[in-house]
Structure 1
Amino acid sequence: MYARACTICSLLVVTITLSFQQATAQSQLPVYLDDSKPIDARIEDALSKMTLKEKIAIIHAQSKFSSPGVPRLGIPDNWATDGPHGIRPEVLWDEWSQAGWTNDSCTAFPALTCLAATWNKDMAGLYGKSLGEEARYRNKNILLGPGVNIYRSPLNGRNFEYMGEDPFLSSKMVVPYIKGVQQNGVAACVKHFALNNQETNRHGYNVNVDDRTLYEIYLPAFKAAVQEGDAWSIMGSYNLYKGQHCCHNEYLLNDILRKEWGFKGVVVSDWGGVHDTRQAIFNGLDLEFGSWTNGLTEGKSSAYDNYYLANPYLKLINSGQVGTKELDEKVRRLLRLSFLTTMNKNRPYGSFATEEHALAARKIAAEGIVLLKNKGNVLPVNLSKVKRIAVIGENAIKMMTVGGGSSSLKARYEISPLEGLKNRIGKQAEIVFARGYVGDTTGNYNGVATGQNLADKRPASEILAEAVATAKNADLVIFFGGLNKSDFQDSEGNDRKSLGLPYNQDAVISELAKVNKNLVVVNISGNAVAMPWVDKVPAIVQGWFLGSETGNAIASVLTGDVNPSGKLPFTFPVKLTDNGAHNAGEFPGDKEITYKEGIFVGYRWAEAKKVKPLFAFGHGLSYTSFQYGKVKADKNTISPSDKITFSVDVKNTGSREGEEIVQLYISDLKSSVARPVKELKGFEKVSLKPGEQKTVSFTIDKSALSFFDAAKHEWVAEPGDFEAVIGASSSDVRTKTGFRLN
């Protein structure tokens, strides 16, 4: 008994001693390593220990995608990665060429146009979480995305990377994406701030836009990213605004981003977006990447030391021409980024190219697919009647995860539309393929090779004749066409040259329609396209760039395994001049571009000018049907400090379960300034079983009624009469009610 008591005493002594030693060790830690301390205290402690050269070093790149930490203090390097749709493969230190890793093949997620088309904030959260896990697993702490530049023209080459034409929709979708990414200890880097709406001469054009248009159309998604999403970083854009490049733009970065919105994060330059040391010092830039994009333009091994925020900055300080106040602010923000990411001991480990991520990618893809037309209920495919299916078109087989510029991916796998259909119905129906047209047969983009050889030397007439013969003998024809990620299509660096489909696809579709009335056209693109054959084709599907699970997602919607529930995040015009930017003759501009259409972008332009679109903003059909009741308001009159709630009953009147996106628009019936006919101010996606009814409610305040008064530089809600408009799309109004703001 005595011996046992002594043993217990000894254990207690050891435990107390160890606890004392641990506490002592903890108290001896530098504050910046003690994560029990407030983050501001940790920042100031680390800053006080850094030399001038160390401070200069961490604000510019040391390689293609990394910037140095402070090894002496145990602060890790920062590693950035593209992009918004998947984690870019590793490249060499100083070159764009692939590093040749065998374990960097990622999950390719659908392009952001598809995510926006889900109109589902939960999908945005799932997307961000999954992508953040992949970035974290690869030990990246800055994810270069998402993109939220507004869809001003259907010819912008990078539209597929963005979230559509409406600032409210983009704002609501970007916030959960950011939160999903950052819960993994990876900073979302929202891009491109701001007014980056074309690729033509992207380094050299200056945007002229009035403040009202800037604040109402082009800034809201960025503001939401900062104030609601708490984005830890923002990327500047290539273009100029007010005569200054946007990566060091005083009005955008200092006045709006930091002073008005209170942004505490890091402003990152786009690669090659910095042009002047003094502007970079004083106009809000924190971290300079890619000023010479091959890394060694200066012909020296220390090329990165010659970046604008490197030795040129250091020389200005050492000569007394500038002080260190701005430098310390930049370093504070970068240290904060490190403490939130690489130095967060609770940062999860992430996961990479998992089955869970594949299922997430498939779910998002299927939910974003939009059924544009379905005359005669050609879809879903009736396998009791359809026994022979002709699949036609290059886009049925062409890999789309590769290409498009910086978002080009090395995916672990990619299921093509043809593969997806064979996987799903190959045992129930015969599937035959014909090329139909030959587009881009190359398979190497941005250093990533598809391994596909799509070369076909036959004459176009022979290829078309084969497709027509194949279609003639089928019960159903599914044509996969649209755009691809080659230059001058959906791709960074160049804009499209026309609204029409490339590679003579219009003629192919027209010929197919002549020989088979059961024709489905699946348009694969991130942009609107012209459809001169729209009246000849009974069923049209908008397929987007859908990532690794492309074929499985498309097959699930075409066969009815998944009820289509996506809706368009931008307007499909009939012709280019139906678009405001093109009607004004301002796309693409060259050196000086004036946004003459002002706030009238997308559906705002179409409604103001009474132009009927090909397919309206918010449009999307279903395999079931929905009935809307009459919208009700909880009050008829509100004060500026009040809120008002609108409710509407929605019932599934069809025979199968489905989801409907209920959209709330607000109309100002009389205003002192020109206002859109109506503007999106709420949306909810509701799932309903056959015969089920649910009440959908929207609560708004005066912010939903306001316009930006440039003279006062504030948001103004004028007293008067308004309407709440409930629709299934911007053009499909189901019910509305009036109310008054006192």
Structure 2
Amino acid sequence: MKKILLGTFLSVAAFTAAQQETPVYLDDTKPLEERVEDALSRMTREEKVAIIHAQSKFSSPGVPRLGIPENWMTDGPHGIRAEVLWDEWYGAGWTSDSCIAFPALTCLAATWNPEMAALYGKSIGEEARYRNKNVLLGPGVNIYRTPLNGRNFEYMGEDPYLASVMVVPYIHGVQANGVAACVKHFALNNQEIDRGHVNVNVDDRALYELYLPAFKAAVQEGKAWAIMGAYNRYKGEHCCHNQYLLNDILKRDWGFDGVVVSDWGGVHDTKQSIKNGLDMEFGSWTNGLNWGASNAYDNYYLATPYLKLLESGEVTEKELDDKARRVLRLAFRTTMNRQRPYGSFGTEQHSLAGRQIAQEGIVLLRNNRQVLPVDLAKAKKILVVGENAVKPMTIGGGSSSLKVKYEVSPLAGIQARAGKEAQVSYLPGYASPAQKEQDVKDAKTPQQEAIDYAALRSEAIQAAKDADVVFFIGGLNKNEGQDCEGADRKELNLPYQQDQLIEGLAEANPNLVVVIISGNAVAMPWVNEVPAILEAWYGGTETGNALASVLFGDVNPSGKLPFTFPERLEDNAAYAVGEYPGNGEDVTYKESIFVGYRWADKQKNKPLFPFGHGLSYTTFEYGKAKADKKTMDENGCITFTIPVKNTGKRDGSETVQLYIRDKESSLPRPVKELKGFKKVKLAAGEEQLVSFTIDKQALSFYDDTRSEWVVEPGKFEALIGASAGDIRAKVTFELK
């Protein structure tokens, strides 16, 4: 007998049970914690166990007898996933679940604008609420350690401060809709290779200074209602049931009062799950019905096996009550909240929000000879080259794959913007192998045909000679081995012979614009041959319109890179001194705290493009920086100011970045660390005084010999600039 598929209905078993008893109604006028304790006191042991594990692929039961609804989870961080069958991953065939795709989180991070993070969270939260999901499985804040990680596009870059500032308003926006943000993946999930079992060895300095701050901010400032454990291991224990991460750090030290949700298939042991901090178990087997049981979810680690341990007296109900309490708290914050708004889904407002975020996130990496923006009064013949100009990018990539209401391709966006003012033609130039369709039952892998790269390349290069401007739109895609969950990239270079194609196009036409669509850094051996380069990320539903608005100058680009683009893979710390991907069982982060720009500074490597880099169609001049005092006492603050002027002829926005250097540390420290940023909008000719105020926390480091954060008196330097590689002003000060 098939179970009901609709998320708003109870399962058959739960529905039947609900009909057999008159529900007990709970008093919703009491404070939250009183309501939780009241409900807990009325629950049986069996009901407590039932609510802490799944009943389907994406739901867990409520307590029908008490009128407590089911919990419904949804992937992912970039849009609301299509409905799947109760016990399987295949699509359920709904006709009302086509969502708006928002830009990837790398694009959001590239806006360097907390207001965009708030807009993103509000919009995706409204979509989740309308679909009656009460837990959104996102956002992701794992640190960008290597440019080959297949899941980097779901995260917010390499810097813990940037990720911390951006994640908080995202959470606030989601949870204002009565939907829990489930921040992931806690912690140290920095590669997809061997992700299910690899044990991460990392020193405490790197753990506390790099890999935990964004999660801490999500909990203590964002007040996140849920956290998802990671697949990998730390200190020999899987992160979904890890004493040190979940009980000691998350719940004890940070005071987290929400639920810890397992990643799907991330649970491995009943006793460890009981003792080590897991609250809700999901996806422990791909298809529960293969067990041949009437309800195979009862075989999960926190189901019947847990009940048997309770009945035998091997464990007490202390841990069970804590887990049930947290799940009840989740319900009262979401589905049981009468003030919860209704949300909205697939709206024009959400599409335009996504477009605005995509526009702000696009990064102008290079613009020699002011090739951009393209003037349609002069460019009458436009050639668009590249598979990514037409390839859908909202599907694929793993759990973030979406069924979208529509998706504007880059080619369609360019054609729409050019209108009748220019002739726009298209050639693929390259192609990627066909991939197996996702979320379709019994899908067959399309017949693989040999790709004649030389012929595709030759055709495009020949056509480029007659064009006024050439837009090459390439990069990565969501195929396995690219930007995709479950596997990492094989190399830093572009796939599918794109490098040879770009070199040929550059030789054929001096007005070449290279647009990289990706969630990762790529090598650019042709960088000095190409006048204009854009990083456009995965822009979601409105990708093409957002890109076209920047290419033709309707929008002045203002994005900044949230991670370093190394020139070579060997310039990345994980490859230079660290370990990646490890030996199959363990991986050691030998580079410690020196990740991204911290490593480039230490080695005095000049990256291809530095962290924080991004150009504009206007220019900005930085004046002399000043501090309001020369010395700072231990309990005080210090404020830095710097005048920034738009010296160009058009309005634009600049992200002013503050880095701090410790000049006299007892332990090794990075040359500089990001401790502040402000995005300011300036009209042509306008000047603003930008200010930053910091306290001693911005000067601190984690002393692993003392297991605490410390601040040492001495001399410091404030470095203010346009990127980690473009410091415009310095101010020296002292901490007494």
Q: Are 1:486 and 2:479 matched, yes or no?
A: yes
Q: Is the 8 A contact 1:32 1:45 kept in 2?
A: no
Compute the displacement of 1:644 (Å): 0.6
| 2:609 alignment counterpart | 615
State the alpha-carbon separation in 1 of the partners of residues 323 and 649 from structure 2.
59
Change (3 A) 1:448 1:418: farther
Query: How far does residue 454 in structure 1 lie from its aligned partner after superposition?
Result: 12
Whether 1:638 aligns to 2:618 is no
Matched, 1:556 2:549: yes
* TM-score, with length taken from structure 2: 0.95
Structure 2 equivalent of residue 204 of structure 1: 197
Instruction: Give the corresponding residue for 1:12.
Output: none
Kindly provide the amino acid, as one letter, of the partner of residue 168 in structure 2. Answer: V
> Residues 29-40 of structure 1 correspond to what in structure 2 (within 5 A)?
33-40=26-33
Aligned letter for 2:180? A
Residue 281 of structure 1 pairs with residue 274 of structure 2: yes
Query: Hey, what's the Cα distance between the residues in 1 that align with 2:641 and 2:444?
Result: 53
Report the alpha carbon displacement of residue 83 of structure 1 after superposing the two structures with TM.
0.5
Aligned mates of 2:715, 2:444 — CA distance in 1: 61
Residues in 1 aligned to 2:447 and 2:524: alpha-carbon distance in whole angstroms: 26
1:291-332 Cα shifts (integer Å, max 9, x gaps): 012222423231100100000000000011110010000000
How far apart are 1:129 and its partner, in Å?
0.2
Structure 1 residue 382: Cα displacement: 1.3
Q: CA deviation at 1:711?
A: 2.2
1:271 maps to 264
Name the residue aligned to 1:73: 66
1:101 aligns with 2:94: yes
- Rounded to whole Å, the distance in 1 between the matches of 2:235 and 2:488 is 23
1:525 paired to 2:529: no
Residue type of the partner of 2:390? I
User: 5+ residue gaps in structure 1?
Assistant: 1-28
Task: Assess if the C-alpha contact under 8 Å between 1:403 and 1:446 holds in 2.
Answer: no
How much does 1:458 deviate? 6.6
Q: CA deviation digits over 1:271-304, x for unaligned, max 9? A: 0000000110010000000001222242323110
Partner of 1:324: 317
**Contact 2:522/2:565 (<8 A) preserved:** yes
Q: Which residue of 2 aligns with 1:391?
A: 384
Pairwise CA distance, 1:713 = 1.6
> What is the Cα deviation at residue 30 of structure 1?
11
Q: Which runs of 5+ in 2 are unaligned?
A: 1-21
| Residue pair 1:475, 1:518 contacting (<8 A) in 2 also | yes
1:432–1:470 Cα contact (<8 Å) kept: no
Q: Is residue 251 from structure 1 mapped to residue 251 from structure 2 by the alignment? A: no
Alignment partner, residue 395 of structure 2: 402
> 1:501 & 1:383 partners in 2: Cα distance?
30
Could you tell me which amino acid in structure 2 is paired with residue 342 of structure 1?
A: T
Residue number in structure 2 paired with 1:687: 681
CA drift at 1:450: 13
SS at match of 2:291: coil
Counterpart position of 2:669: 675
* Aligned positions of 1:332-731 closer than 5 A: 332-442=325-435, 444-447=437-440, 459-589=452-582, 590-731=584-725
Normalised by the length of structure 1, the TM-score is 0.95
C-alpha separation in 2, matches of 1:452 and 1:132: 35
The alignment status of 1:219 with 2:209, answered yes or no, reads no
Residue identity in the other structure for 1:630: K
Q: After the TM superposition, which residues 64-213 of structure 1 pair with which residues of structure 2 at under 5 Å, given as runs?
A: 64-213=57-206
* CA distance in 2 between partners of 1:199 and 1:506 (Å): 25
Taking a change above 3 Å as real, the CA distance of residues 46 and 124 of structure 1, as seen in their structure-2 partners, is: same
Q: Alpha-carbon deviations, 1:217-237, whole Å to 9, x = none?
A: 000000000000000000000
Structure 1 pair 149/447, CA: closer, same or farther in 2 (3 Å)? farther
CA contact 1:376–1:538 (8 Å) conserved in 2 = yes
Measured in 2, the distance between the counterparts of 1:446 and 1:236 equals 24
CA apart distance, 1:31: 10
Asked whether the equivalents of residues 437 and 445 of structure 2 are also in contact (C-alpha less than 8 Å), the reply is: no
Distance of aligned partners of 1:148 and 1:66 in 2 relative to their CA distance in 1, 3 Å threshold = same
Aligned partners of 2:596, 2:288: CA distance in 1, in Å? 40
Give the SS at the match of 1:733.
Answer: strand
Distance in 2 separating the partners of 1:711 and 1:466:
63
Q: CA RMSD in A?
A: 1.7
- CA gap of 1:451–1:557, structure 2 versus 1, over 3 A, is farther
Distance 2:533 2:445 in 1: 27
Q: 1:454 to 1:569 in 2, by over 3 A?
A: farther
* Native 8 Å contact 1:64 1:94 kept in 2: yes
| Shift, 1:446, TM fit | 4.3
Percent identity among equivalent residues? 68
CA spacing shift, 1:492–1:37, aligned 2, 3 Å = same
- Deviation string 1:374-400 (CA, Å, 9 cap, x unpaired) is 000000001121110110000000000
Task: Output one character per residue of 1:190-239: Cα deviation in whole Å (capped at 9) or x when no partner.
Answer: 00000000000111100001111100000000000000000000000000
Shift, 1:462, TM fit: 1.9
Amino acid of the structure 1 residue aligned with 2:212: L
Is the CA contact 1:436–1:463 (under 8 Å) kept in the aligned structure 2? yes
Change (3 A) 1:165 1:294: same
2:45 aligned partner = 52
Q: State the one-letter code of the partner of 2:537.
A: W
Residue 36 of structure 2 is aligned to residue 43 of structure 1:
yes
User: Distance in 1 between the 2:30 and 2:443 partners?
Assistant: 49
Instruction: Provide the rounded CA distance (Å) in 2 between the counterparts of 1:451 and 1:401.
Output: 20
Q: Is the 8 A contact 2:55 2:61 kept in 1?
A: yes
Contact 1:528 1:572 in 2 (8 A): yes
2:8: which partner in 1?
Answer: none
SS in 2 for 1:444: coil
CA contact (8 A) 2:23 2:67 kept: no
* Structure 1: distance between partners of 2:274 and 2:598: 39
Distance 1:405 1:39 in 2: 37
Q: Is the 8 A contact 1:199 1:495 kept in 2?
A: yes
Matched letter for residue 420 of structure 1: G
- Counterpart contact for 1:682–1:698, Cα < 8 Å: yes
Q: 1:698 to 1:453 in 2, by over 3 A?
A: farther
Letter in 2 for 1:432: S
- Greater Cα radius of gyration, structure 1 or 2: 1
